[in-house]
Amino acid sequence: MKNRCLGNAFVDLHMKGKILLVFVGISTILISSRTAQAQERVPFCGSDVVTRQLAEKDSTVAQAIQLDLEQLTNLAQNPDASKLFKKKAVVTIPVVFHVIHNYGPENISKAQILEQMEILNKDFRRRNSDTSKTRSIFKDRAVDCEVEFKLATKDPDGNCTDGITRTVSALTYGGDEDVKDLIRWDYKTYLNIWVVERIDLTIDGATLAGYTYRPPSTNEKIDGILVDHSFVGSSGTSNTLTAGRVLTHEIGHWLGLLHPFTDGCGSNCQTTGDYVCDTPPVAANNVGCPSTVNSCSNDSPDEPDNHENYMDYTNGSCQNMFTAGQNTLMQFYLSRTQYRGANISSAAITKSGITISNPCAPKADFQITSDLNRICPGGEVTFADMSWNGDVVDRVWTFEGGSPSSSTFSNPSVTYNQAGTYKVTLKVTNSKGESSITKEEFITVVPEEADLKSPFLETFESEFTPSYWGAEVDAQAYGWKIQAGPSVSGSKSAVCEIDANTESGARYNLLTPNFDLSAHKDLSPILSFRVAYSLRTAGAGERLVVYGSKDCGENWLALKGLVGASSLYSKTGNNPGWKPSSAADWKVVEVNLDQHGFADSKNLMVRFEAVSASGNSIYIDDVNVDQFALSVAPSQLAAGIRILPNPSNGQFTIHNQSVSSSIHIEVTDANGRVVRTLASEGNMDRVIHLNQSGIYFVRITGDGFVKTERIIVTK
């Protein structure tokens, strides 16, 4: 007998051209490769481990699961069970879709959700067009479950809704259970379905794409279904292989069903397997669209696998039925108010408003159709109306600084000719009301010539700001940030935080501000920086790729690539969780900017792209653009010169503790203009006074070294 799969979740991921299915005891998940190319699905079962872990954490869950199995045995042994729970009328379950998005493809359309609702209702009422494919041996037991689903028209506060909410959050990228804390409606009234970009929960290294909890192990904080957007409906962003049957399968589990292959062939349909005797035992899940498979011969009469059953793993286009026994089990849970009975009560029907038509006023929202809201003068931006909750009849856009300055189109294109930062407003209206939204400082048009001039130095002593450096961090806080401690100059550095739990292949970008290289025209400017990295385990390791753009990020060209095991590492060996602890742990990387016509650019951006291999973090410091590269090792002389405080209100002290000979001090503003020139004798402190707020650069030249440091004046 195979291990019993109590809760049953299954996952698939792309590996060597195949789909791997991983079973999880807490839930059930249907998944397909994100490429939607693979046709073969190979099962992995890990639900026995996860179920044990869940029960070990919560004894009430263990007790509930055991009690549930006893109830299912009693139900299977009762010849009149189907009469006990037969409903006199079709029951309807209120549904709400919570779309958690960051303005990507996961923000699926209302049409895709309505298509999914239509699929659900046809499947559970056996009105799907492919019922003719049910083989004759199973036709008599294939039933109309008399369960329907309707989108709510009232939210928990009685406000108008179309049964779809939309929440902007980075948690869409693998936030998993935390997503449910963003928004949840009363689970005893609504079936909550959360739609996300991806799920990062892993079992034995396999990434899940959606899951739910069966009634005995659920509660108000976890109840509902979490699903990857590509498994909703059968069009739009959906994987067509599943034909919209993923949520049919998931709701089957939400209503209490198990897989027909639970326990493999088992020993007795009343005490093992899925506890449903009219679903023949199955040794292991079926995949694809088999013609006839009979994997178990211990049933009497000996019948083939019911591979067209929604609770198997065959392709969605090959599934078309629930059995009478499965319907009895679902009706059992629908008859219990402590389980799903509350969802079909008169109170739930009234509260959710599913019996009334309740058109709503729209809620305004919008986004641009590309990732770029930082453009060059003359650049064009296309906007998309993403308003929701009610159909938009009229709309008015207002574009500060744009041409045209207003529009009534759904997806207007706007040109911005003058440097500046501009707001955008959208007002939407229908017969039920209106809504407007204004996004301040939404479009940034950089000057033809960047305000920041080379030479340029960043030592990361100040936090990132959107107008100066752009840093990507995901929902799990992996990605670029300023970190105190490991550094070369000052006390901080930039780190792309990565560890063994970071998704392999995840990319995190760090963008410099725009800067003007004209001061170094014909001098072959160099981008140099210090990097610190060590492998976690033997292998290729992380990657760091440097890109440049002179058209405000519309096009990026690679300048240099560093691979962990060959060119990125600065510390030899395999060192899990490593971080630099001394200057010797850093090395200098030089990047020739005299490529792709960048050397004469007056508006250059540089992008550092870190690519995870689930290994170690990457540290960088002292990003420098100049005619000369950083010295290979930080000069002991230069290291003994410090500028404090930084930032300051305009008074800085240059503390010289190491240089006995004279030094030359030059202070330039962000435009490259020299604003102060000083000389100092050896081992002497000098004070600098600056009257205007802004960013300045102090270049200190001595015998055998040059030190440049960025300082900030805040008034």
Most confident option among 114-118, 418-422, 669-673: 114-118
Please count the other Cβ atoms lying within 10 Å of the Cβ belonging to residue 247. 26
Q: Both tokens of residue 669?
A: 């503003």
Q: What pLDDT, on a 0 to 100 scale, did the predictor assign at position 43?
A: 28
On the question of pLDDT at 330 being above 90, the answer is: yes
pLDDT in tens, 45-71: 233 333 455 667 888 877 887 888 888
Could you tell me how many residues make up the chain?
715
Which DSSP string do the residues of 524-562 spell out, in sequence order? --EEEEEEE--BSSSSS--EEEEEEESSTTSS-EEEEEE
pLDDT band at 40 (very low <50, low <70, confident <90, very high): very low
> How much is the mean pLDDT over the chain?
83
The stretch 565-593 carries a mean pLDDT of 92
Q: What pLDDT, on a 0 to 100 scale, did the predictor assign at position 638?
A: 65
pLDDT band at 449 (very low <50, low <70, confident <90, very high): confident
pLDDT in tens, 198-216: 877 665 555 566 778 888 8
Domain 10-352, CATH: 3.40.390.10
On the question of pLDDT at 464 being above 80, the answer is: no
The stretch 598-617 carries a mean pLDDT of 92
The percent of residues above 90 in pLDDT, for the chain, comes to 45
pTM: 0.75
Calculate the CA 640 to chain-centre distance. 44
Q: What pLDDT, on a 0 to 100 scale, did the predictor assign at position 672?
A: 64
Just list the catalytic residues: 250
Query: How many Cα atoms are found within 13 Å in the side-chain-facing hemisphere of 229?
Result: 23
pLDDT band at 611 (very low <50, low <70, confident <90, very high): very high
On the question of pLDDT at 554 being above 90, the answer is: no
Q: Both tokens of residue 698?
A: 């102090």
Instruction: List CB contacts of 296: < 8 A, sequence separation 6 or more.
Output: 264, 265, 266, 280, 281, 282, 283, 305
Q: What value does the CA radius of gyration of the chain take, rounded to a whole number of Å?
A: 31
| CA-to-CA dists, residue 632 to 511, 563, 594, angstroms | 24, 20, 21
* Rounded Cα–Cα distance for residues 318 and 134 (Å): 9
Q: Both tokens of residue 489?
A: 């100059």
Most confident option among 278-287, 424-433, 482-491, 701-710: 424-433
Instruction: List CB contacts of 132: < 8 A, sequence separation 6 or more.
Output: none
On the question of pLDDT at 146 being above 80, the answer is: yes
The overall longest dimension of the chain from CA atoms, in Å, is 102
Please count the other Cβ atoms lying within 10 Å of the Cβ belonging to residue 409. 11
pLDDT band at 12 (very low <50, low <70, confident <90, very high): very low
Domain 452-632, CATH: 2.60.120.200
Please count the other Cβ atoms lying within 10 Å of the Cβ belonging to residue 715. 9
On the question of pLDDT at 34 being above 60, the answer is: no
Buried b (16+ CB within 10 A) or exposed e, 456-475: bbbbbbbebeeeebbbbebb
Q: Please answer whether residues 8 and 253 qualify as being in contact, where contact means their C-beta atoms are separated by less than 8 angstroms.
A: yes
Q: Both tokens of residue 148?
A: 């329907």
Element housing 656 (H / E): strand 651-656
Q: What pLDDT, on a 0 to 100 scale, did the predictor assign at position 42?
A: 30
Q: What pLDDT, on a 0 to 100 scale, did the predictor assign at position 185?
A: 98
Q: What pLDDT, on a 0 to 100 scale, did the predictor assign at position 641?
A: 79
* Rounded Cα–Cα distance for residues 285 and 317 (Å): 16
Q: What pLDDT, on a 0 to 100 scale, did the predictor assign at position 631?
A: 54
Decide if 375-384+391-445 and 637-713 have a common fold: yes
Q: Please answer whether residues 44 and 21 qualify as being in contact, where contact means their C-beta atoms are separated by less than 8 angstroms.
A: yes
Of 684 and 251, the one with more pLDDT: 251
Q: Please answer whether residues 710 and 460 qualify as being in contact, where contact means their C-beta atoms are separated by less than 8 angstroms.
A: no
Please write down the HEC assignment for all residues of 199-258: CCCEECCEECCEEECCHHHCCCCCCCEEEEHHHCCCCCCCCHHHCCCHHHHHHHHHCCCC
375-384+391-445: which CATH number, 3.40.50.300, 2.10.25.10, 1.10.3210.10, 2.60.40.10? 2.60.40.10
Of 665 and 160, the one with more pLDDT: 160
Q: What pLDDT, on a 0 to 100 scale, did the predictor assign at position 17?
A: 27
* Rounded Cα–Cα distance for residues 275 and 83 (Å): 17
Element housing 63 (H / E): helix 59-77
pLDDT band at 382 (very low <50, low <70, confident <90, very high): very high
For the ranges 37-51, 282-296, 481-495, the lowest mean pLDDT is seen at: 37-51
Q: Both tokens of residue 449?
A: 């010539």
On the question of pLDDT at 310 being above 90, the answer is: yes
Of 351 and 456, the one with more pLDDT: 351
Three-class DSSP category at 40: coil
User: What's 637-713's CATH class?
Assistant: mainly beta
Q: What pLDDT, on a 0 to 100 scale, did the predictor assign at position 112?
A: 96
On the question of pLDDT at 286 being above 70, the answer is: yes
The stretch 344-355 carries a mean pLDDT of 95
The percent of residues above 70 in pLDDT, for the chain, comes to 87
pLDDT in tens, 99-141: 999 999 999 999 999 999 999 999 999 999 889 899 999 999 9
Q: What pLDDT, on a 0 to 100 scale, did the predictor assign at position 692?
A: 85
Q: Please answer whether residues 713 and 693 qualify as being in contact, where contact means their C-beta atoms are separated by less than 8 angstroms.
A: yes
Q: What are the boundaries of each domain within the chain?
A: 10-352, 375-384+391-445, 452-632, 637-713
One-letter amino acid of 564: G
pLDDT in tens, 153-185: 999 999 999 999 999 998 998 888 889 999 999
* Rounded Cα–Cα distance for residues 244 and 227 (Å): 12
For the ranges 195-204, 365-374, 522-531, 632-641, the lowest mean pLDDT is seen at: 632-641
Calculate the CA 648 to chain-centre distance. 38
Cross-strand pairs, 92: 148
Of 398 and 598, the one with more pLDDT: 398
pLDDT band at 88 (very low <50, low <70, confident <90, very high): low
Q: What pLDDT, on a 0 to 100 scale, did the predictor assign at position 87?
A: 63
User: Ramachandran region of residue 577, left (φ > 0), alpha (ψ -120 to 50) or beta?
Assistant: left
Q: What pLDDT, on a 0 to 100 scale, did the predictor assign at position 516?
A: 86
On the question of pLDDT at 441 being above 60, the answer is: yes
Phi first, then psi: give them for residue 599, nearest 5 degrees: -60, -25
The stretch 221-236 carries a mean pLDDT of 90
Of 700 and 631, the one with more pLDDT: 700
Q: What pLDDT, on a 0 to 100 scale, did the predictor assign at position 553?
A: 84
On the question of pLDDT at 320 being above 50, the answer is: yes
